[in-house]
Amino acid sequence: MKILITLSYVGTGYMGYQLQGDKPTVALMLNRAVRKAFGFDCNVTGCSRTDSGVHALGYCATIEPKNKQNQITVPLDKIPIALNTMLPSDICVISAKEVSDDFHARYNVVKKEYVYKIRTSPIRDPFLSGRVLEYGREISDESLAKMQIGASQFIGTHKFDAFMSAGSKVDDTTRTVYKSFLKRKGDIVEFHVVADGFLYNMVRIMVGTLLDIERGKINESTISWIISLKDRKNAGQTARPDGLYLKKVYYH
């Protein structure tokens, strides 16, 4: 029996999702909770890596007993409660459902959606510390419109070498972006992006480049040019992880 769970977490206190020995990661907490809740070890497979300090609204992972003789007897609708009892307060399982034995949490993904939150008030909010990028100043409607023009140029199938951390070892940098837009919610500006996959730090570099448009460092029409040059040095800085959330994972 293989179970697909969806969880949300605040990544501030963790070094990303993936296991890194005994270092504090979301996967370590989840593996420990699974062992306690079910009474035996399971293979826990996540849908992707997330960087240190990055959050998730809809992260997905599968749980499967390592020993086929072991069976998960907790009813599906009770699994979130069973796991949440064992998890720290900044990690929460939202739902659980049974999937086929050949389902893979990572390889069956067809697209992912990320949202990056930029807070534009000059007065920081201590209750949002580590959960948004505190930009420290307002973004005008005119600047936001220019950023929208820039964001729209990410859409399509491109080689995103310029939006990948230098030194990343990836053979194929081609990704297809389906949606890329910004919207304002009070003093928060959100950048939403949906793609069939993302390179290392891709969203954070996109945000850094869009903020260069807001600052007047680059023209809003130059995103396509930056993409075409395929050189990391032409894109903006890598934005802090604080404002980044994995929003949703889409499967076949």
> pLDDT tens, 113-124?
999 999 999 999
* Domain count across the chain: 2
pLDDT at 165: 93
233's tokens: 């040095």
- DSSP letters, 1-34, are -EEEEEEEE-GGGSS-SS--TTS--HHHHHHHHH
pLDDT at 252 over 90: no
Determine the Cα–Cα distance for residues 135 and 130; give it in Å rounded to an integer.
12
* Cα distance between residue 198 and residue 163, in whole Å: 10
Is there a single domain that holds both residue 34 and residue 118? no
Q: What is the DSSP string of 65-116?
A: ESSTT----S-GGGHHHHHHHHS-TTEEEEEEEEE-TT--TTTTEEEEEEEE
Per-residue pLDDT tens digits for 145-192: 999 999 999 999 999 999 999 878 898 999 999 999 999 999 999 999
- What per-residue confidence (pLDDT) applies to 64? 97
Pairwise CA distance, residues 156 & 159, whole Å: 10
Residues 59 and 32 reside in one and the same domain: yes
Same domain, 185 and 123: yes
- Is 92 part of any domain? yes
Same domain? For 247 and 125 the reply is yes
CATH number for 159: 3.30.70.660
Give the per-residue pLDDT at 168.
Answer: 84
- Rounded Cα gap, residues 49 and 17, in angstroms: 6
Which residues are tagged catalytic? 51
Query: Where in the sequence is the domain holding 55, given as residue range(s)?
Result: 2-99
DSSP-derived letter for residue 173 is -
Q: Mention every residue, 6+ apart, whose C-beta is less than 8 A from residue 22.
A: 28
Which pLDDT tens digit goes with each residue over 198-250?
999 999 999 999 999 999 999 999 999 999 999 999 999 999 999 999 999 99
Integer Cα distance of 162 and 180 in angstroms: 17
* Domain stop point among 99, 129, 150: 99
Residue 162 covered by a domain: yes
- 75 within domain boundaries: yes
pLDDT, tens digit, for every residue of 82-123? 999 999 999 999 999 999 999 999 999 999 999 999 999 999
Residue 32: give its domain's CATH number.
3.30.70.580
The CA distance from 74 to 68, in Å, is 16
Residues 151 and 190 in one domain: yes
51 & 154 share domain: no
Which pTM does this prediction carry? 0.95
Tell me whether residue 105 is in a domain: no
Answer yes or no: do 90 and 127 share one domain: no
Asked whether residue 235 falls in the same domain as residue 132, the answer is yes
Mean pLDDT of the chain: 96
The pairs formed by 14-22 with CB atoms below 8 angstroms and a separation of 24 or more are 14/52, 14/53, 15/52, 16/49, 16/50, 16/51, 16/52, 16/54, 17/46, 17/48, 17/49, 17/50, 17/56, 17/59, 18/46, 18/49, 18/50
Helix H or strand E segment including 117: strand 109-119
Q: What is the pLDDT of residue 194?
A: 98
Tell me, yes or no, whether 201 lies in a domain.
Answer: yes
